[in-house]
Amino acid sequence: MKTHHFVGEIKIKQSWWSKMKYLLFVSLFVLTLSGPAVEPKDSDLVAPQEMIDEINRVQDLWIASSEWVGNMTFAQAKLYASSKLEAKKFPEKDWGALLDYLSIPASFDSRTQWPYCTKPLWYGDDCNAGWAFAAAETMTDRFCIATKGAFNITFSPLYLIICDVTLPELGCLGGTAENCWDYMRTTGITSIKCFPYNPGDWNQYCPYDECRWGTEITLYKTLSVNTFTSPSSIQAEILQNGPIEATMTVYADFQAYKGGIYKHTTGGLVGYTSVKIIGWGNQSGTNYWIAGTSWGSTWGMKGYFNIAFGQCGIDRAGVAGPPDLSNIPTIKI
């Protein structure tokens, strides 16, 4: 009896160990096939056709296309994602009890709410300083909205790119949205008429005292800077005061976005970009933001895109401020 019991234990242990060795072998075999995670090279294609085909095969929320991205390499893609993320330096806007009583609609679009304040998106061309383009666009919209369209000029992104040289702002090489808004709080921004912007025209001096045509420069400021780190706070701010700027993570698949509601599906980190959030919506139970880039009208939906709430940190790094109307011409609001 004892011998039989002992032999049985040996058989059970041998059987268990055989199974463990088999599972270990299978695991190692799979790891060998998949190989180690390889950091993409700058010369690698950021969104090869096989990736695009896979994206469209495994999900149906959004459409990927090679139409814009083409044979773009990772090195080229990084130029479109040169914004930087830093620790938050400005306070979250305190809505107090208002947030509890504010009725947030299921969908909202600044373009239909304030059509007289809608302007084309800037195109960054070979200098994609998204942090500056989105800031200039957002300030332009906010001045117009605050004055009900009475003060409707366009602000110059080039002024921010050339003049805001406080680190870590590096012009076409990158910058942060919060520091840009701080610059517009302390120094300001001028109009496109004063400091015209033409794609590729970056070799300029900052017009500290006068406009390009020799007239005296006028600077417009934001009264303060607030950050927004939750969907409800962003929705309330847009509903009350207009678009905000946000910085989001850019993955390789985002470069191939053509339409639909973007959710990161595949592909490695490319960098960060700053965009203008103008509204939100809901489709089949998926909440999404409506935002615009400075990547040109041939990308996405004429430069715009929809992105699901919570994706790529877009609703954790918002920034904006109220316009300072003290030095604009006397108007009735």
Has residue 329 been placed in a domain? no
Are both 8 and 150 inside the same structural domain? Answer: no
Same-domain status, 286 and 178: yes
Q: Give first-to-last CA distance, the chain, whole Å.
A: 100
Q: Are residues 106 and 152 in the same domain?
A: yes
**pLDDT tens across the length of the chain (333 residues):** 444 443 344 343 444 444 444 444 334 333 333 334 467 888 999 999 999 999 999 999 999 999 999 999 999 999 999 898 776 788 888 887 777 788 899 999 999 999 999 999 998 877 878 999 999 999 999 999 999 999 999 999 999 999 987 766 678 888 999 999 999 999 999 999 999 988 777 777 888 888 988 899 999 999 999 999 999 999 999 999 999 999 999 999 999 999 999 999 999 999 999 999 999 999 999 999 999 999 999 999 999 999 999 999 999 999 999 999 998 876 554
Q: For 207-255, how does the pLDDT look when each residue is reduced to its tens digit (9 = 90+)?
A: 888 898 889 999 999 999 999 999 999 999 999 999 999 999 999 999 9
User: Do 126 and 231 reside in the same domain of the chain?
Assistant: yes
Would 326 be classed as within a structural domain? Answer: no
| Residue 294 counted as domain residue | yes
Residues 5 and 94 reside in one and the same domain: no
Number of domains in the chain: 2
Q: What is the pLDDT of residues 4-37, one digit of tens each?
A: 443 344 343 444 444 444 444 334 333 333 334 4
Q: 8 and 80, same structural domain?
A: no
Whether residue 41 lies inside any domain: the answer is no
- Ramachandran angles phi, psi of 163, nearest 5°: -95, -30
Give which of 222, 233, 226, 227 is closest to 280, Cα–Cα: 233
- Return the biggest CA–CA distance within the chain: 108
Q: Report how far apart, in Å, the C-alpha atoms of 116 and of each of 119, 265, 303 are.
A: 8, 37, 19
Rounded to whole angstroms, how far apart are CA atoms 206 and 164? 9
Domain CATH code at residue 89:
3.90.70.10
> Comparing C-alpha atoms, which of 131, 330, 108 is closest to residue 235?
108
Residues 82 and 167 in one domain: yes
Q: Which residues of 112-145 are buried (b: 16+ CB within 10 A; e: fewer)?
A: eebeebeeebbbbeebbbbbbbbbbbbbbbbbbb
Q: What is the pTM of this model?
A: 0.86
DSSP state of 40: P
Instruction: Report the distance separating Cα 177 and Cα 161, nearest Å.
Output: 12
Separation in Å, CA 106 to CA 81, 127, 232? 30, 36, 12
Among the listed residues 301, 284, 25, the one whose alpha carbon sits nearest the alpha carbon of residue 292:
301
In a domain, 328, yes or no: no
Query: Is residue 307 within a helix (H) or strand (E), and if so which, with residue range?
Result: strand 304-308
Give yes or no: residues 18 and 67 share one domain.
no
Shared domain check, 281 and 247: yes
Q: Does residue 291 lie within any of the structural domains?
A: yes
Domain of residue 118 covers 49-320
Q: Are residues 58 and 29 in the same domain?
A: no
